[in-house]
Structure 1
Amino acid sequence: MNSGSAQATVSLVSLFFMGGVFMWPLLAFSVAAVALSLERAAYLLYHSLRLDDLAKATLAYLKADDAAVAAAYLQPLAKRRIGARILLVLVRRANLSERRLEKAVEAEALSCISRLENGCGFLTAIGSLAPLTGFLGTVSGMIGAFKSISEAAEVSAQIVADGIYEALITTEFGLIIAIVALTAHSLVTHAIDRFAAETEKTCSELIAEIAVRNEAGAANAGRSATAKAI
């Protein structure tokens, strides 16, 4: 078992050095892609994107005209849950007009989503640069292979095969790195897009509820003022 593992390690190291100088930037890309993927996964798991339970509880508090209680409920959750941060802004500014409230919630949501997307641009860049770097290494290797062929007194299939074999190593590694980076990017952006859509829907429902409550409160205040005047 250990012998097989050692042989695999030696084989991988041998392939790395056979790939030439372009394997070094590919190594950097691979480390960056794995590190960014794990960091984004850990961040999304730590900052839960679940919103349905928060929306249900907040709506219940708002229907009971308990915005202060809703804020007290959301405050401790805002440290870890992105949705709680957005809803906390909403309930704390429930006294604003509907348009101003929408602007405040939108600004907070954009800020939170921007933090969720940190590193996604680098994953996209790695997904584009890695195969190009691999292809550049392949072209460089092919140039060396044809140079060896031109200098050889007798051209054999082994000379051609060995040169092409070494040249294609960088392309393979570049494509593998690109697949990892772009897969991680797709999964992360899908989770963020789904959260953004759910947040927009939830906030629209809560703002509508707040607007109805504010209008009812204003109407009651107007009737009370009229009654006192009479």
Structure 2
Amino acid sequence: MSKKVSITLLLIVVMTMFASIAFAVEASATPATGGGIEKFAEFIFGNVAVKWFKDGGWAMWPIIFVAIYGLAFVIWKFISLIYGKINLNTFLNKVIPLIKAKKYKEAAELAKANRGPVAAIVYAGLLKADLGLAAVEKAIENAAMIEMSYLEKGFIELSSAITLAPMLGFLGTVSGMISAFDSIAAARAVDATIVASGIKIALITTQAGLIVAIPVQFMNNIFLTLVDGLVIDMQRASEKVIEALIENK
């Protein structure tokens, strides 16, 4: 299954889940038909979560979409990085003896049979093994640049989710505060109940934005660490391959 198909299916599943909240919100305007839908949403997410979402107002919708967007890329990035990680020592223990025995074709096929950026750059280098050390180094360098571009994919999208979620939350809070002050002005009196209720509802969107951004930021940091580890593995593998080829001269 391709990555695009996997992400599409994931988005469909997640959006279907959040759609129950949407039905609950819309159903509040039509009690005759909405009771069952709202109860279904409360069964899935809990009545507290549904009420919390409804109280947050319009700003909760873009925050939810950012949450879906961020979650999709978190899952995709996690799968791609875990899939690309191999046991470096085990891999080198199989490849290096073949290189030292000048069985470059067999070593290249072994690298091709393995997944991930480390195996990819070793495979690219070994394809040029008969052309000399300079050709191998150039091939490894070019392959490493391509693999790095793959490893960096998704970070812009994750950063966008991290930035947009709290910003949308703050926007919702400002809008909520304006509405709260409008209510106070309409009441022509400072009522602590009105003020407290308005501020509470306004702050829900800030809370929602942070709830989305913090986990995505945490996972983003983990992904950066995993990428650093893969880069180090790529460097070590390329050095070992070059050293083995030098010994063969």
TM-score by length of 1: 0.83
Q: What is the CA distance between 1:8 and its match in structure 2? A: 6.0
Residue ranges of structure 2 left out of the alignment (5+ in a row): 1-41
Answer yes or no: is the 8 Å Cα contact 1:22–1:134 preserved in 2: yes
**In the alignment, is residue 67 of structure 1 matched against residue 104 of structure 2?**
yes
Cα displacement string for residues 16-69 of structure 1 (whole angstroms, at most 9, x for unaligned residues): 121111111100011111111111112223333432221222111112222122
Measured in 1, the distance between the counterparts of 2:159 and 2:83 equals: 23
**In the alignment, is residue 162 of structure 1 matched against residue 197 of structure 2?**
yes
Measured in 1, the distance between the counterparts of 2:45 and 2:81 equals: 34
Partner of 1:196: 231
Partner of 2:59: 22
Answer yes or no: is the 8 Å Cα contact 1:133–1:174 preserved in 2: yes
Q: Percent identity?
A: 32
**In the alignment, is residue 138 of structure 1 matched against residue 173 of structure 2?**
yes
- For the residue of structure 1 that corresponds to 2:46, the secondary structure is helix
TM-score by length of 2: 0.77
Structure possessing the higher relative contact order (Cα contacts under 8 Å, 6 or more residues apart): 1
Supply the RMSD in Å over aligned alpha carbons: 2.0
Runs of at least 4 residues off by over 4 Å: none
- For the residue of structure 2 that corresponds to 1:155, the secondary structure is coil
28, 36, 40: which one pairs with 2:73? 36
Q: What is the CA distance between 1:99 and its match in structure 2? A: 3.6
- For the residue of structure 1 that corresponds to 2:141, the secondary structure is helix
The one-letter code of the counterpart of 1:30 is A
- For the residue of structure 1 that corresponds to 2:130, the secondary structure is coil
Residue ranges of structure 1 left out of the alignment (5+ in a row): 217-230
**In the alignment, is residue 57 of structure 1 matched against residue 97 of structure 2?**
no
**In the alignment, is residue 114 of structure 1 matched against residue 149 of structure 2?**
yes
**In the alignment, is residue 153 of structure 1 matched against residue 194 of structure 2?**
no
Answer yes or no: is the 8 Å Cα contact 2:117–2:234 preserved in 1: no
Of structures 1 and 2, the larger Rg is shown by 1
The one-letter code of the counterpart of 1:106 is E
The one-letter code of the counterpart of 2:204 is I
Partner of 1:10: 47
Select between 152-161 and 133-142 the one with higher mean Cα deviation: 152-161
Q: What is the CA distance between 1:75 and its match in structure 2? A: 2.5
Q: What is the CA distance between 1:7 and its match in structure 2? A: 9.7
Measured in 2, the distance between the counterparts of 1:56 and 1:182 equals: 37
Select between 65-74 and 96-105 the one with higher mean Cα deviation: 96-105
Cα displacement string for residues 138-183 of structure 1 (whole angstroms, at most 9, x for unaligned residues): 0111111111112213322111100000000010010111112111
